[in-house]
Amino acid sequence: MLRTGRFVTFMALAGLMYLYIPIFIMMVLSFNGSRLVSVWGGFSFKWYGELFSNDQLLNAAWLSIRVAGFSATLAVILGTLAGYVLTRFGPFRGRVLMAGMVAAPLVMPEVITGLSLLLLFVAMEDFIGWPQGRSITTIVISHATFCMAYVAIVVQSRLAQMDGVLEEAAQDLGARPWRAFIDVTLPMLAPALISGWLLAFTLSFDDLVISSFVSGPGSSTLPMVIFSKVRLGVSPDVNALATILIGFVGTCVFIYSWRAGRRMRMCEDA
């Protein structure tokens, strides 16, 4: 365990406050009866009521959940294959290009990804008549493409820790390669696949820029609706939405970290 001085502790806590104060303020404001941020109009749930009667927001939220679910699942399948191929298949022709393609979306500005995918879809429609216009399909394809890179990285680092000896052991005991993959690799990868899926879901659910390029009329995702609302200024029902989202994610993250911490402590004691 590294030891640090008081200065580091002070700076770290100040940094964490910087991260949390705006979130905290937003949560408090969601219960503010007044529309003005600077006036406390009493504790009220009225923005939550307004939020749940706003069909536009609710529809967009439902669309975003579906898009994120499909994209994350597709991204996990493709990203797992990509990560597995890169760590376990040894050299093959085009391996370097593949490694590059997997790493690139991490540093690719979203505006470029969005624009390039839109131009591809337009050209494809021109040549083969598919996809017809922009829809949920084009959003899912685009999201899966940039999310699979994140999944591949998570899978790769997990596989690198695992070293291939367990798969070899399974093959040595008579399992064909795909059988060894199902019996040994997948169960070992499960935690990485779950966190990869959650990561992909979050990235897709949160994406504004790429969706704006590749979505068509009538398929506005939640971030797109929020963006058009908040461009015009503070909107209290967005505060309520943010509070619900953060509360949900926060609960999940803390349950997870509490359990992981307890497991660690048990390992330390053992």
Partner 1 sequence: MEHRSAGAGPGGSAAEPFVRIEVITKRFGATVAVNRIDLDIQRSELFCLLGGSGSGKSTLLRMLAGFEQPSEGRILIDGQDMTGVPAYERPVNMMFQSYALFPHMSVSDNVAYGLRRGGVARAEIRKRVADMLDIVKMGDYAQRKPHQLSGGQRQRVALARALVKQPKLLLLDEPLGALDKKLREETQFELMKIQSQLGTTFIVVTHDQDEAMTLASRMGVMQDGRLVQVGGPRDLYEFPVNRFVARFIGAVNLFEAVLIEDEPGHARLRCAETGGVFHVSHGVSGTLGQTMHLALRPEKINLIRDKPDGEENVAPGVIDEIAYLGNLSVYQVRLDTGRLIHVTLPNLDRHEGEAFEAGNRVFCSWGPASAVVLPA
Partner 2 sequence: MSAQQRLNASPSPARRRKSWRLGRNSVIALPYGWLLLFFILPFAFVLKISLAEADMAIPPYTALVEWLDETTLTIQLTFSKYQLLLEDGLYLSAYLNSLKIAAISTIFCLLIGFPIALFIVSRPAHARFFWLAMVMLPFWTSMLLRVYAWIGILQSNGLLNTFLMNAGIINQPLVLLHTDLAVYLGIVYSYLPFMVLPLYAALEKLDPALLEASADLGARPAVSFFTVTLPLAVPGIIAGCLLVFVPAVGEFVIPALLGAPDTLMIGRVLWDEFFANRDWPMASAVAIVMLIVLVAPVMLVRARETATRDEA
Residues 7-66 that bind partner 2 (CB under 8 A): 7-9, 11-13, 15-16, 18-20, 22-23, 25-26, 29, 36-38
Record the tokens describing residue 170, joined without a space. Answer: 């399974």
Sequence-distant (6+) residues with CB within 8 A of 153 are 83, 102, 103, 106
E strand or H helix that includes residue 253: helix 236-269
- How many other β-carbons are positioned within 10 Å of the β-carbon of residue 153? 20
Contact 76, 65 (CB under 8 A): no
Nearer to partner 1, 12 or 190 (CB): 190
Nearer to partner 1, 35 or 95 (CB): 95
CB of 88 to partner 1, least distance (A): 13
Nearer to partner 2, 1 or 165 (CB): 1
Q: Does 189 bind partner 2 (CB under 8 A)?
A: no
Gap between the Cα atoms of 265 and 270, Å rounded: 9
63 alpha-carbon distance from chain centroid: 16
Q: Does 182 bind partner 2 (CB under 8 A)?
A: no
Contact 97, 82 (CB under 8 A): no
Gap between the Cα atoms of 190 and 112, Å rounded: 33
Nearer to partner 1, 39 or 270 (CB): 270
Record the tokens describing residue 18, joined without a space. Answer: 């910087």
Q: At residue 216, what are phi and psi to the nearest 5 degrees?
A: -105, 180
Nearer to partner 1, 186 or 255 (CB): 186
**195 interface partner picked from partner 1, partner 2, none, CB below 5 to 8 A per type:** none
Gap between the Cα atoms of 151 and 147, Å rounded: 6
Tell me the number of residues near partner 2 by CB under 8 A: 96
Between residue 138 and residue 167, which ones bind partner 1 under the rule CB under 8 A?
Answer: 165-166
Q: Does 112 bind partner 2 (CB under 8 A)?
A: yes
Tell me the number of residues near partner 1 by CB under 8 A: 18
Q: Does 170 bind partner 1 (CB under 8 A)?
A: yes
CB of 260 to partner 1, least distance (A): 16
Q: Does 263 bind partner 1 (CB under 8 A)?
A: no
CA atoms within 13 A on the CB side of 13: 5
Between vectors from CA 147 to CA 157 and to CA 156, what angle results, nearest 5°? 15
CA dihedral 58, 64, 65, 67 (to 10 degrees): 150
Q: Which of 90, 113, 86 is nearest to 99 (CA)?
A: 86
Between residue 182 and residue 211, which ones bind partner 1 under the rule CB under 8 A?
Answer: 183-184, 187-188
**230 interface partner picked from partner 1, partner 2, none, CB below 5 to 8 A per type:** partner 2
Between residue 212 and residue 251, which ones bind partner 1 under the rule CB under 8 A?
Answer: none
Stretch that binds partner 1, among 1-9, 75-83, 133-141, 181-189 (CB under 8 A): 181-189
Nearer to partner 1, 56 or 172 (CB): 172
Residues near partner 1 (CB under 8 A) are 165-166, 168-177, 179-180, 183-184, 187-188
